Amino acid sequence: MKTAIVILNWNGKKLLEKFIPSVITNSKLDNVSIYVADNASTDNSINFLKKNYPEVNIIKNKQNGGFAKGYNIALEQVKEDILCLLNSDVEVTKNWLTPILDTFKKESNTAIIQPKILDFKNKNKFEYAGAGGGFVDKYGYPYCRGRLFNNIENDNNQFNDTTSIFWASGACFFIRNTVYKNLKGFDNQYFAHQEEIDLCWRVQNLGYDIKYIGASTVFHVGGATLKESSPQKTFLNFRNSLFTLVKNLPSKRIIGIIFIRLVLDGVAGIKFLAEFRPKHTWAIIKAHFSFYFYLPQILKKRKALTQKENYYTHKSIVWSHFVQGIKKYNDL
């Protein structure tokens, strides 16, 4: 079973300088290859790699298609059995691959795996993007073990287990190549953000399992390519979440859930105004217009997919966190 670690890069020479040494040093196993898929960078990323790390395979994309399209184009050229999609701002640790690859060998129905993701800047804390494995509530809001909205838990070994999850983080995302190609990868319309949740949902609707393995640890900077405070990030998250719901919700729930989400998005927009962040309110408005514009295309995609009833384990993470004041996953 061969494995490809594929790092998507866009003008990220500084990140490659900082983080690719850990990937090379800690990934020296038989049948493991390292790729950098470059999204038409204009900095000196490629020359830096050729000069300093000739063992790294380079894939050159002709345009910056973001996370989704960038990986889709690059992975057409990657033939290994297991794909590890790794952010360029991730530090990996010794033996990080072993428990994950062992699980793929033992469990033929496990299609996607995520390791424990901690904060590179504060290594005793979980990191926002994935933490201890992700879930969605009834209304499609994503949350993680170790992270409820912006409340981040300390890592006290509470999630050192191996368990089934609903979605794995795109920051460090392992998937069987056959499953990725069968589902035609990420949805290019997403550009970035939430595309991994959509793909995980589609994978589970086909009956595959998704696992979190706490015996493997990586450290993620987070927000290195698009800052948390960016209105563009707000736009993509709100719009793409609606895309995901329309594509994957069971038929009897879709109208009611989408209506409630649109209302709650309006509440979020008012909250941004009250916080004197009008650019984010405008980002939500633009997200809704973009959603309506692309809705016919999304509905067409839905017809080609399978939807299943059981997708959530918690009714409303918004209610639990903001009304009941619950801050930790294990208190849900």
DSSP, res 293:
H
Sequence-ordered list of residues with C-beta below 8 angstroms from that of 35, at least 6 positions apart, any chain: 4, 5, 6, 7, 56, 57, 58, 59, 74, 78
In the prediction, which pLDDT does 224 show?
47
pLDDT of residue 222: 81
What per-residue confidence (pLDDT) applies to 83? Answer: 98
Report all structural domains of the chain as residue ranges with CATH numbers, in order of start.
Answer: 3-220 (3.90.550.10), 231-322 (no CATH)
- Rounded average pLDDT per 10-residue block, the chain, 332 residues: 97 96 96 97 94 97 93 97 97 98 98 98 95 96 95 97 98 98 96 94 96 98 65 95 97 95 96 95 98 97 92 94 96 96
Identify the pLDDT of residue 228. Answer: 59
pTM score of the predicted model: 0.94
pLDDT of res. 220: 97
